[in-house]
Structure 1
């Protein structure tokens, strides 16, 4: 029995599987070791995940997460998991590898994450062979819910929104300038706060001003990331994440402008990851802890 964890900055989906069956699932808050230490991650797993498991103990845990981009950060997650599951084989990898495996399987392609944050890679069917860096919330995250929220809130605070939109936004979220700035700069993970405004943009996406912002968001994403990859003109471009899923029609419109072929859009990588890891289990069996 193995656990597969797909963790974004907002939530973590846990799937419990055998070589041919899904045995259960659970959900906890998201983790990001760029901002969180092992103790905080451990506490959420202990307090929220364990009560959902019904005494299930994994032989192996495959954890894919936002921010898991260096050995030091990955070790924070690994240490938290080992404190609770000391006998399990544990693999911690970047959520970008999860996206590539879930979207492309063993075929080459461009894999993209568009959720609270954003990232991309060029995948050869086995490994990630190129990655235009994701610069995170402060400098990048083009295409993401957080970037979308920043576009909206900046336009609101700079008094650039039409009165009908500004009034609707203010009333929906009970906004004040000080409230926005206090929340943004005191939040442990500020991208989560900005991404909450994506729902407003989804609801108002037919308004020409909002449609233009969404279009701008995706245009920046393709310009700064996807078109930088060798072979982007012919390779399939695949997406996973809530923003790609809910704004798929506009995303495809922008992709067409760049001559790109969008092949797959998934809300979550979980199903693709389950298939990928079940095939590994069937072929190689359960890995053993070193």
Structure 2
């Protein structure tokens, strides 16, 4: 049996390919080895869905945020090995997941626009180039955290339309002190900031909210996609909830930048399942 995982900072999609070809699935919390230890990840992985399969899983393909460096991959592998001691374990970056799921064996540029953001140039078999992923404080242009951070900054400085500000207060009971407590004192500040994107998306008929997405996507293109060689000639695909639920704005920003959009999918897990099924 094969276990496939696609993990971001907010959630993890798990798929099991059974010996008879049947597929089962589970969604759990996200993991990022830059912010969690192997022990912390191991504890949170011990859900019934996974523990009940620990003797049956033979191979694991885990794709995750923060898994570019060898030492981070090793930490995730240790967490998985604490449950699946007999399995052959492969850990790769979430960019590889985006490329395999959207491009398959064809060249293209694959992008992630979820809680965070990232991108790569893919030749159909391997990733040939990437751009720096500076994280939720210094980067993540176009990602939910980046958009949410701008929204909260504008809230604090009263630089948003009054009707949007009042709606946010009514829905979230926001104050400057609550925002600062969540961002500077509570765990997972990137998730907190990204959580406001649903509200922003629900109000994207308002020019201010529309502009938050549009300008953030333009920032992402400038920092990432436009830095790749011959980017105008390559199909550009996206995975992640921010891209998927705001695809209309994303396509407009891409059109205005001269970028050819190929696929926009919420999660790469279905494409990854197909990719690994084909290799059986």
Settle same-fold status: TM greater than 0.5: yes
Q: Note the aligned Cα RMSD (angstroms).
A: 1.4
- 3-state secondary structure, aligned to 1:210: helix
CA distance in 1, matches of 2:94, 2:82: 22
Question: Is the contact between residue 242 and residue 267 of structure 1 (CA under 8 Å) also seen in structure 2?
Answer: yes
- Please name the residue that 1:30 is paired with: 30
Q: Which residue number in structure 2 is paired with residue 85 of structure 1?
A: 84
Q: Partners of 1:50 and 1:127 in 2: how far apart?
A: 30
How far has the Cα of 1:26 moved from its partner?
1.2
Q: How does 1:76-155 map to 2 (within 5 A)?
A: 76-155=75-154
Asked if 1:251 corresponds to 2:257, the answer is: no
1:90/1:219 CA distance change after superposition, 3 Å: same
The alignment status of 1:69 with 2:68, answered yes or no, reads yes
Does the 8 Å contact 1:109/1:235 carry over to 2?
A: yes
Contact 1:20 1:278 in 2 (8 A): no
Unaligned regions of 5+ residues in structure 1, if any?
A: 282-290
Measure, in 1, the Cα distance between the counterparts of 2:48 and 2:192.
22
Question: Is 1:40 aligned to 2:47, yes or no?
Answer: no
**Cα displacement (A) at 1:54:** 5.9
Change (3 A) 1:30 1:48: farther
TM-score by length of 2: 0.97
Deviations 1:210-235 (A, max 9, x none): 11111111110111110100121110
Q: Which residue of 2 aligns with 1:275?
A: 274
After superposition, the C-alpha distances for 1:94-141 in whole angstroms (9 at most, x for unaligned) are 101000000000000000000000000000001100001111101000
2: CA distance between counterparts of 1:210 and 1:245? 16
Residues 54 and 84, structure 2, Cα contact 8 Å, conserved in 1: no
Matched, 1:16 2:55: no
* Mapped contact 1:38–1:76 kept (Cα < 8 A): yes
| Structure-1-length-normalised TM-score | 0.93
Report the 3-state secondary structure (helix = DSSP H, G, I; strand = E; otherwise coil) of the residue aligned with 1:25.
strand
| 8 Å contact kept, 2:54–2:83 | no
Does the 8 Å contact 1:19/1:278 carry over to 2?
no
Aligned to 2:57: 58
Shift of 1:189: 2.1
Give the deviation of 1:60 after TM superposition.
Answer: 0.4
Work out the number of aligned pairs and report it: 280
CA–CA distance in 1 between the matches of 2:245 and 2:228? 25
CA contact 1:35–1:188 (8 Å) conserved in 2: no
The structure with higher relative contact order (CA 8 Å, sep 6+) is 1
Offset at 1:78? 0.5
Displacement of 1:20 in angstroms is: 7.2
1:162 and 2:170 are equivalent in the alignment: no
Q: Is the 8 A contact 2:142 2:216 kept in 1?
A: yes
Gaps of 5+ in 2: none
